[in-house]
């Protein structure tokens, strides 16, 4: 979990990723597994052209990913394309809902692009569910850099997928 500006960072447990990220996190972070045949552009290990994001579960219920997104996904030289930034945020929010055991699809999403997001640099994605009502789940996500500066923020509504009746 990102330590809010002005908060006492000394109270936060040092993350095992802090040498890379220079961030503090509440441990433990537990791997959040995906099927090896998953072809999702954002998180699918079987999609060689995708982002292949790996997510971890934080003890406070957030999902966390610590990617270095390749320069191949840049728009303006040195910075990630806005569509890729939206994809990163969407993935973090959808994984937060999925961590509740509720596979879902994005219904709507709002993105605030606060600062340019560098390509080829360590990032921290963090997503969490903020409210649930029946099949509806509202989530939020952030992208931060290694100095804990929030670069982008999103809010979204996700609708739980109903299992199809077998014929």
Look up the CATH number of the domain holding residue 24: 3.10.129.10
Residue 44 in this model has a pLDDT that exceeds 60: yes
What are the pLDDT digits (tens) for 46-90? Answer: 888 888 899 999 988 899 999 999 999 999 999 999 999 999 999
pLDDT, position 165: 52
How many domains does one find in the chain?
Answer: 1
The answer to whether 151 and 111 have CB atoms below 8 angstroms apart is no
Tell me whether residue 164 is exposed, middle or buried, using C-beta atoms within 10 angstroms of its C-beta: 0 to 12, 13 to 18, 19 or more: exposed
User: Is 43 inside any structural domain?
Assistant: yes
- Per-residue DSSP letters for 22-34? --B-PSPEEEE--
Say what the pTM is: 0.81
User: Is 167 inside any structural domain?
Assistant: no
User: Is 65 inside any structural domain?
Assistant: yes
Domain that holds residue 34: 9-160
User: Is 4 inside any structural domain?
Assistant: no
Cα angle at 49 between 63 and 111, to 5 degrees?
45
Rounded-to-integer distance, Cα 128 and Cα 63, Å: 6
User: Is 13 inside any structural domain?
Assistant: yes
pLDDT, position 41: 82
- The number of angstroms, rounded, from the C-alpha of 126 to the middle of its chain's C-alpha atoms is 5
Please identify which residue in the block is written with the tokens 């290990």: 45
The answer to whether 88 and 124 have CB atoms below 8 angstroms apart is no
3-state secondary structure of 50: coil
- The most confident of the ranges 29-38, 110-119, 155-164 is 110-119
pLDDT, position 95: 94
């Amino acid at each position: 979990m990102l330590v809010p500006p002005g908060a006492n960072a000394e109270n936060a447990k040092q993350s095992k990723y802090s040498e890379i990220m220079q961030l503090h996190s509440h441990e433990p972070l537990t791997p959040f597994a995906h099927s090896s045949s998953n072809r999702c552009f954002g998180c699918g290990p079987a999609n060689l052209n995708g982002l292949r994001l790996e997510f971890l579960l934080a003890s406070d219920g957030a999902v966390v990913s610590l990617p270095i997104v390749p320069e191949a996904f840049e728009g303006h030289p040195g910075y990630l394309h806005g569509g890729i930034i939206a994809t990163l945020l969407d993935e973090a929010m959808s994984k937060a809902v999925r961590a509740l055991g509720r596979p879902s699809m994005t219904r709507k999403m709002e993105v605030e692009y606060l600062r340019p997001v560098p390509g080829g640099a360590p990032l921290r994605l963090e997503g969490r569910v903020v409210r649930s009502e029946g099949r509806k789940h509202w989530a939020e996500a952030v992208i931060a850099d290694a100095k804990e500066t929030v670069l982008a923020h999103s809010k979204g509504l996700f609708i739980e997928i109903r299992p199809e009746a077998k014929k």
